[in-house]
């Protein structure tokens, strides 16, 4: 929603899937060959997302993704996938089922190294890697991201990540020229919501999410290193927070795909959400 608000304010052409809510295999290659060009895209990463044609569709782009503490991410996903929660009851029951080979591949892909799986560019499951295999895979993925200059935002440090993003993109996120509200994570308050907060449970979740945990720890440290290179960072962080407090609500949510029209009465909104992009 924050990026959607910035895109609307700057009239940036947004790249969306042509069907459903995610890019299908080879979709981006085909659209790049048609010569379509866009300014920004903010969609869920999937194992079939192709970064090279994405960069062709978005010339001079900064690729970024968001990483979240693997334990809180697991808790959120475990409660979101209600069939899995109903079947296993507790997080540790699921962890034990994974280690005993009793969980399905889909269940494991949803909850074991799901972040790495989603951004891997491959549909090969990462759920059953041992520690050394996890370490090797994480190092390979980090090297690939570094070669593509991917910037990783951290959910638990979103404002700091946004300052870095604004600096990298040359956006004025401090004066009020770009207005956007802070986003508050939705809490699952449904009956039966499972919580895993004790150390034994956290250790169990980490044991089936080693790749995600290594990536998360690496990019937390990298965010600290980047922050040290930005002049007057604390001042900018304060101004960004003040800007968020003063801003009105974020722009309307973007469409599910480029054919959906969600705001036909606002042509200036619809004009940046097309299938062809720049005209």
What's residue 184's pLDDT? 57
- % of the chain exceeding 70 in pLDDT: 95
What's residue 177's pLDDT? 87
- Domain ranges in the chain are 1-61+253-279, 62-248
First to last CA, the chain: 24
Highest mean pLDDT among 95-104, 172-181, 240-249: 95-104
Q: Answer yes or no: is pLDDT of 246 > 60.
A: yes
Q: Answer yes or no: is pLDDT of 279 > 70.
A: no
What's residue 185's pLDDT? 54
What's residue 110's pLDDT? 94
Put residue 277 in one of left, alpha, beta given phi > 0 → left and psi -120 to 50 → alpha: left
CA distance 28 to 15: 10
- Contacts of residue 247, Cβ cutoff 8 Å, sequence gap at least 6: 176, 179, 180, 181
Q: Average pLDDT of 141-145?
A: 94
Q: Over the chain, what is the mean pLDDT?
A: 90
pTM across the whole model: 0.90
């Amino acid at each position: 929603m924050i990026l959607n608000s910035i895109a609307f304010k700057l009239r940036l052409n947004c790249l969306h899937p042509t069907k459903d809510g995610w890019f299908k295999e080879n979709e981006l290659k085909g659209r790049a060959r048609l010569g379509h060009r866009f300014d920004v895209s903010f969609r869920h990463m999937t194992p079939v997302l192709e970064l090279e044609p994405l960069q062709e569709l978005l010339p001079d782009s900064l690729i970024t993704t968001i990483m979240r503490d693997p334990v809180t991410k697991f808790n959120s996903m475990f409660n979101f996938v209600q069939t899995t929660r109903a079947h296993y009851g507790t997080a540790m029951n699921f962890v034990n089922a994974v280690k005993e080979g009793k969980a399905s591949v889909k269940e494991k892909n949803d909850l074991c190294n799901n972040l790495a799986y989603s951004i891997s560019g491959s549909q090969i499951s990462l759920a059953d890697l041992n520690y050394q295999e996890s370490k090797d895979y994480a190092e390979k993925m980090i090297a690939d991201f570094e070669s593509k200059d991917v910037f990783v935002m951290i959910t638990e440090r979103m404002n700091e990540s946004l300052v870095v993003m604004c600096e990298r993109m040359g956006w004025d996120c401090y004066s009020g020229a770009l207005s956007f509200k802070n986003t508050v994570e939705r809490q699952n308050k449904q009956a039966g919501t499972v919580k895993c907060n004790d150390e034994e449970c956290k250790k169990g979740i980490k044991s089936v999410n080693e790749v995600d945990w290594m990536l998360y720890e690496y990019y937390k440290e990298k965010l600290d290193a980047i922050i040290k290179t930005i002049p007057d960072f604390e001042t900018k962080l304060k101004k960004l927070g003040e800007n968020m407090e003063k801003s009105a609500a974020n722009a309307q949510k973007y469409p599910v795909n480029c054919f959906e029209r969600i705001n036909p009465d606002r042509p200036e909104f619809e004009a940046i959400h097309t299938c062809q992009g720049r005209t």
